[in-house]
Amino acid sequence: MEDYLFNSAAGLKFNIYQVIQEITEFINLDKERTYKLIIGTDSDLNVNKKTADFVTAIVIQRVGNGGRYFWRHVKFFPVYNLHNRILQEVLFSLEVAKNTLLVLKNSNGPEFQLEIHIDVGENGETKSMAQELIGIIRANNFEPKIKPDSYAASKVADRHL
């Protein structure tokens, strides 16, 4: 995870420790507000249909008053089917969530709610996977959100594919 660099909306590159520092500084600007740390991944199958591009977004939301986000791009292979690809999205989100929490725990960071957004919903091709993926996220002690409430995956990460 430390090998991956995250991009900011402004085009700057950060390692995970610098992302945490940016998040902490953002929260410290207004400690009276409520914050959500949201992680979501989206993917796109490449033309050869054997690899996929994955984008994971870390969003810090000052509830009711904006936020910031960071994203990383990973090429992953092989990807055999839609189920495998969506499961890999969840695994990337869990990896980032666990590593982010580990860094924050060691730094006595600020308080926030943490959500993992999954790019599945109650309709469409992925509806049969929703409960399985929600279960995986809950089993890891995180709060899952699916479409239409999974904007970190379906909007923020998707924007950078």
Rg over alpha carbons for the chain, rounded to the nearest Å, is: 15
Of the chain, the percentage scoring pLDDT greater than 70 comes to 97
**161 vs 157: CA distance, rounded Å:** 7
**110 vs 23: CA distance, rounded Å:** 9
> What's residue 63's pLDDT?
96
Q: pLDDT, tens digit, for every residue of 98-140?
A: 999 888 877 766 778 999 999 999 999 999 999 999 999 999 9
| Burial grade of 87 (CB within 10 A; 0-12, 13-18, 19 or more) | middle
Comparing 30-34, 103-107, 151-155, the range with the smallest average pLDDT is 103-107
Q: pLDDT, tens digit, for every residue of 92-106?
A: 999 999 999 888 877
Q: Is 51 helix (H, G, I), strand (E, B) or coil?
A: coil
Q: pLDDT, tens digit, for every residue of 73-89?
A: 998 878 888 999 999 99
In the predicted model, is pLDDT for residue 145 greater than 80?
Answer: yes
Which tokens is 43 given? 């993917």
Mean pLDDT of the residues in the chain: 92
> What's residue 103's pLDDT?
84
The pLDDT of 141-150, averaged and rounded, is 97
Confidence (pTM) = 0.93
Q: Is 92 helix (H, G, I), strand (E, B) or coil?
A: helix
